[in-house]
Structures are given as C-alpha cells and as structure tokens.
Structure 1
C-alpha cells in the first residue's frame, strides 16, 4: 500500500509540483491550502507524512504542527522562505522532523521524504510515564519537568531529549546518537541542533529560578543527566 502524503501549501504551483513529483515516486498525495483544512484532513484520515508550509493564509503552519504533535509522531517536513538558523531550530524543537528552505530542489526534497519515511518508527518505546530523580521529576504524559515543585512545560523535542537522557541517568550519550534518536539518521551530523536545544532548555529552566546544571556536557562524549 502506497504511503499517503499531506501537502499543506497555499501556493498552487508549488503544491502541484510536489504532488506530481511524489506521485511519480509512487506516493499518494492530498492537499490543503490553509490551517483549518490541514487540521481537518489530518484528523479525518491521518497521512503517513506531512509537508508543511509555514506561511498560510489563515495562520501559521506551526499551529498545524502543534495539533499533529498532540496525538501523532508521524514525520513532518517543514517548508519555509525563512532561512534563519533560529527559525529552523525552533520548529525542529517543536516537533518538526526536517526543514527545507525555499527555493528548494525537488529531487532533494523527494530524497528527504524517502529518508523520513524509511527512518520513521511509530512504535513508542515503553518507559515509565513518570521519573523521579532526587528533587527532579519528569512526566512524559504531561510533558512537564518539575524541579523543587517548579513545573516547567516542555516542547516536544525538549521532552524527547530529557526522555532519552533520563532513561540511563549518569551515562553519557553522544551528540550523534541523540540526533539519531530524536531527529533520525538524516540529521546525525547536525550537532548544532542539539547544542541549541540544550541551550534553550537551560534558559527555560533558569527562567523558573532553577539550577540547570543537571544536563552535563563533555567534549567528545556528549551529554548526560547528572544525578550527583
């Protein structure tokens, strides 16, 4: 059975170009041109992958991403004319799997779609929904981190990072392994994603007047959740 791809793009020429190229590769494609239709189509018949433009006529594509991440881990590839690294990392930290800047090459985009579908594993590894380490508690279900009774809401990628680090507290995990687990094999060399994600998480924790040194960084070894 062919994978179904939801293309959320208000530029009809780009949407048609994507649809033609992906259908040629054997995928089924459906299209939405605004936030409301995209969310309705996702809820009615969940696709296998979403290609999501950020600038839509009735709102930001980030709203579609947020709604998808409430219930699904399916791959989301973001399209945008915004080429700032901070924009890319923000969307990736909010749950996007990949980011392509406009203008883009259609062959490269098709390859990225293939990689995302190949690497996607819908199975969620069974783990404790709540983990307590001293004065720190992580709730996977509630997507929150609690430190000395300060509750800190987590973005999807922040949650994934802490999820991975707290599965084996005290053990270092390399940048490449964290990238593979969180973003997939296609981003195994994009170490700046992890660095910026850790920096954003530490800043969020500092804003709640909590110590942020429990995420320890060591050159050439990676990161660990410091339980000492």
Structure 2
C-alpha cells in the first residue's frame, strides 16, 4: 500500500498539480485546504508525511505546525512562497523537517518526499526493542502498537499515556499525574483533555472501548493498566 501524505495547501492549482504528480508516483495524497481542517484530520487519521503551506486561511501554517507537533512526530515539509531565512528558521524551529520554496520543481519535491519518508522509516527500525504485554506489543521507536498482527499508529500523547500505564502496570495514575508527566505542565483541573485522549486511545487498542481491558478506569482515582484476571 502506498505511503499516505496529507497536503495542506489552499491554492487549488498547486494542490491539484502536487496531488496528480505524487499519485502517479504511487502515493496516497489527502488534501486539507486550511489549517483547522488539517489539525482535525490529524486527530482522526495517520499519515506518513505532511506537506504544509505557511499561508493558510483560518489558521496559519506555523500555528498548525505547533499544534500538530504536540501530538505527532510525523515528518513535516513546509511548502511556501515565503522564502526567507527567518521563515525557514521559524518553521524548522517549531518542528518542521524540511523546507521547499515556491515556485518549485516537482522532481525536487519528489526527491524530498522520498528522503523524508525514508529517513522516518530508518528511525522506526532503529532500537527495535518492544514491550509485549497482554496481547499487545508496544513499539517505542515508532509510537505504535501491534495487536492481532495489525500495526496501530498512535499520536505522541496517546503513546506516552499508554507507555506510562503499561510500564507501571501496578500503579494507579491520577489525572493530575498523567497530565503533569505527559504535558509537562501544571494541572488546572481540566479533566476533559485527559478524558479525550484516554477515549481515543481505547478506540484504537481495545476490542470493546466501552468495556476496556487494557486502560482501566479506577473510579474516583484515575487509571491503571488492566490485570488480565480482572
């Protein structure tokens, strides 16, 4: 199956040109035409690469990049007409992996796409130590799990929560502890952000998210890794 690319570009002409070209090269290209839509799509689906324009409606490319980087380590290439050293430093400083200025050559775009995806695949093959626990294999280097012979991609925050629970299986974590350890910020009684991430994690790894066996709720306290004998 072809690698999946999310193209975040509001110029319809450029978007169609890139989609047509990369599709012919065997990639699956999904389009988002503004930053807010891109952020929502990243919450619901997994991609092997993002191509991100800086000048976007509703939410600009830099804000989009910062939000996506909070939850994902997917390779990101900035594609923009703003070709200055400041913009390059700003984009790369917030977590982009490469930068290509408009106008650009489709041949150069393809070379950079291949390089970024290849580099990311090398990283997932390094240090392939994994944790096998209760029918789930946790792969720290690719932020994913394997269950029923299928690889399930998690966001960065989802993986951090899962890894913390699984490697401390006898410990109950309060929402405050999870928030402080994963978000590395003070906890302001905003329980909903934890609830949302726990819910998404369960949807991905549990057979029945409404009756979870792995990520258990301890009512009035917090969460722990499930005991197979529960």
TM-score, structure 2 length as denominator?
Answer: 0.53
Secondary structure of 2:110 counterpart: helix
CA distance in 1, matches of 2:12, 2:106: 15
Per-residue displacement from partner, 1:83-129 (whole Å, max 9, x unpaired)?
A: 111210121111000001111111100110000000014649799x9
* Residue 33 of structure 2: aligned partner: 33
Q: Map Cα deviations across residues 116-159 of structure 1 (whole Å, 9 max, x no partner).
A: 000014649799x9xxxxxxxxxx96679xxxxxxxxxxxxxxx
| Separation (CA, whole Å) in 2 of partners of 1:87 and 1:28 | 28
Mapped to 1, the partners of 2:183 and 2:46 lie a distance apart of: 23
- Segments of 5+ residues of structure 1 without an aligned counterpart are 130-139, 145-228
> What is aligned with 1:213?
none
Are residues 1:49 and 2:49 paired?
A: yes
Counterpart of 1:92? 92
Write out per-residue CA displacement over residues 146-173 of structure 1, whole angstroms, 9 at most, x where no aligned residue: xxxxxxxxxxxxxxxxxxxxxxxxxxxx
Cα–Cα, structure 1 residues 37 and 103, in superposed 2: closer, same or farther, change >3 Å?
same
Aligned length: 134
Secondary structure of 1:59 counterpart: coil
What displacement does 1:19 show?
0.3
Structure 2 residue runs of 5 or longer lacking an equivalent are 130-139, 141-159, 161-180, 186-230
Q: CA deviation at 1:41?
A: 1.0
Q: Matched residues in 2 for 1:84 and 1:106: separation?
A: 21
The equivalent of 1:161 in structure 2 is none
Matched residues in 2 for 1:84 and 1:36: separation? 25
Displacement of 1:59 in angstroms is 2.3
Q: Once structures 1 and 2 are overlaid, which stretch shifts more, 14-23 or 64-73?
A: 64-73
Superposed, which structure 2 residues align to 1:1-228 within 5 Å? Answer: 1-121=1-121, 123=124
CA–CA separation in structure 2 for the residues paired with 1:3 and 1:70: 22
What are the superposed Cα offsets for residues 50-105 of structure 1, whole Å, 9 maximum, x if unpaired? 00001011121112211211111110000111111121012111100000111111
SS class of match (2:99): strand
> Which consecutive aligned stretches of 4+ in structure 1 deviate over 3 angstroms post-superposition?
121-127, 140-144
CA RMSD of aligned residues (A): 2.6
